[in-house]
Amino acid sequence: MLIAHITDLHIKLPGKLAYGIVDSADFLKRCVSALQSLTPQPDLIVVTGDLVDTGYAAEYAHLQQLLAPLEIPLLVVPGNHDERESMRFSFPLQDWTSSSDFLQFSGIFGPLRIIGLDTVVPGEGRGELCAARLDWLTEALSADSETPTLILMHHPPFLTGIGHMDKIGLTGRETFAEILSHHAQVKLILCGHLHRPISSVVGGCLALTCPSPAHQVAFDLRPDGPSCFRMEPPGFMLHLWTHDGFVSHSVCIDDYAGPYPFFDDDGKFLDD
């Protein structure tokens, strides 16, 4: 099973730029066309939050227009820039847990169980897994300890060393790690929020953040570094599930020179 992972799209109203600079709609168009050109095609696309920039219903309508060319099933979880009710309305077919205020879900998709967590604290940049959300997760994991499981969440459950992002990091991550340490069926945790690829191990499980198809958070490990972004190469990730487990690839969206062959027509290594 091949899963495309996109995150932090930050779609605005048509014609508006994010932070006065980023044409996030144009970047998403380029991402959609990169996804369409993949061979083989992904079986599923997962989006780990910040689908839109300010949570307006009209931004979700704009997002849906931009995603419309994709004919691949899509699963989404909210980020700190999303608004729960607008998002629930915009993705009515997603099987959200109906008994909760949170936009969470757990379901079987091909050979995997995929669990989506809602780490949003309305009106704040930081994330939280409160007791109610962690109890729901424990129940979901305990109900099926056999099926290999993928978790989607916006805020990563680890500190990144990028000071200003860690200040709006995830509360409850210690308990989350403790829960995961009892559930070896969880094979991978996919996150957003950081707008760049970062990996860590949480409760014995690999956790990854993913580049944005638009702007990237500036690389800066100073504890008091400013909150800034850069127009580094936009990207997404591809996660291939086989009997051996997951293998994850980071993919650049834009065209670069090549591909160039390593060998000539006679099969000899090119070396001048």
Question: Which residues of the chain form contacts with Fe ion (CB under 5 A)?
Answer: 8, 50
Q: Which residues contact 97 (CB under 8 A, 6 or more apart)?
A: 104, 105, 106, 136
For Fe ion, which is the closer residue by CB, 52 or 75? 52
User: How many Cβ atoms are within 10 Å of 114's Cβ, its own excluded?
Assistant: 20
- Beta carbon of residue 18, minimum distance to Fe ion (angstroms, whole number): 9
Q: Answer for the pair 106, 140: CB distance below 8 angstroms, yes or no.
A: yes
For Fe ion, which is the closer residue by CB, 118 or 203? 118
- Beta carbon of residue 237, minimum distance to Fe ion (angstroms, whole number): 15
- Beta carbon of residue 215, minimum distance to Fe ion (angstroms, whole number): 9
User: How many Cβ atoms are within 10 Å of 191's Cβ, its own excluded?
Assistant: 31
- Beta carbon of residue 10, minimum distance to Fe ion (angstroms, whole number): 6
For Fe ion, which is the closer residue by CB, 8 or 118? 8
Q: Among residues 270, 222, 231, which one has the least CA distance to residue 254?
A: 231
Q: Answer for the pair 251, 34: CB distance below 8 angstroms, yes or no.
A: yes
Give the 3-state secondary structure of residue 141.
helix
- Beta carbon of residue 251, minimum distance to Fe ion (angstroms, whole number): 19
For Fe ion, which is the closer residue by CB, 47 or 180? 47
For Fe ion, which is the closer residue by CB, 8 or 59? 8
151 vs 47, 105, 156, 208, CA distance in Å?
12, 10, 11, 11
